[in-house]
Amino acid sequence: MKILMVCLGNICRSPLAEGILKSKVSSEVEVDSAGTAGYHEGELPDTRSIAVAKKYGIDITNQRSRKFTVADFDYFDLIYVMDDSNYHNVLSLARNDEDALKVKMILSELGSTANVPDPYYGGTDGFENVYAMLDDACDVISSKM
């Protein structure tokens, strides 16, 4: 099974989602992340994401930001997006129903239609809140693997 986590910049939310899910599944499950925008290509995760992950025992400093590409539809089985905007951006690149059916809002795993809020312009509280949401969603995702 191969799972891709997607947000806008691939420096705040999806790197946390990648690190958290990896911590809950066996090494047979491949987990990666990407951003719909390439602004931060090649960069480390945001220092606030690195800090909140470290607080919970997860090291995400091996990650580097990259942009989502159409080839990701071929490689990954499931593509989890963080918010409605990511959802529309990824779906706009889908070539067919098979691509489109791989895309899910990550909080739909908790029975919610909510977005994982973009914490980039807020304080560290936002990162704690995002971490808690993603930890709950990844518990459900990992329980199905």
13 included as an active-site residue = yes
| Cβ closest to ligand 4NP, residue 91 vs residue 98 | 91
> How many whole angstroms separate alpha carbon 145 and alpha carbon 135?
15
Kindly indicate which of the ranges 1-9, 56-64, 69-77, 131-139 contains the residues binding ligand 4NP, using the contact rule CB under 6 A: 1-9
| Catalytic position from the list 32, 48, 118, 138 | 118
118 included as an active-site residue = yes
Crossing angle for the helix pair 47-55 and 13-24, nearest 10 degrees? Answer: 30
Pick from 72, 73, 64: which is nearest to 14 by CA? 64
Tokens of 63: 């990650």
Residue nearest to ligand 4NP (CB): 9
| Cβ closest to ligand 4NP, residue 3 vs residue 8 | 8
- Cβ neighbours, 10 Å, residue 11: 25
Residue ranges with strand state E in the chain: 2-7, 30-35, 78-81, 103-105
| Catalytic position from the list 12, 13, 83, 138 | 13
- Cβ neighbours, 10 Å, residue 1: 13
Least distance from C-beta 127 to ligand 4NP, angstroms? Answer: 10
95 included as an active-site residue = no
Q: List active site positions.
A: 7, 13, 118
Residues that bind ligand 4NP (CB under 6 A): 7-13, 35, 39, 118, 120
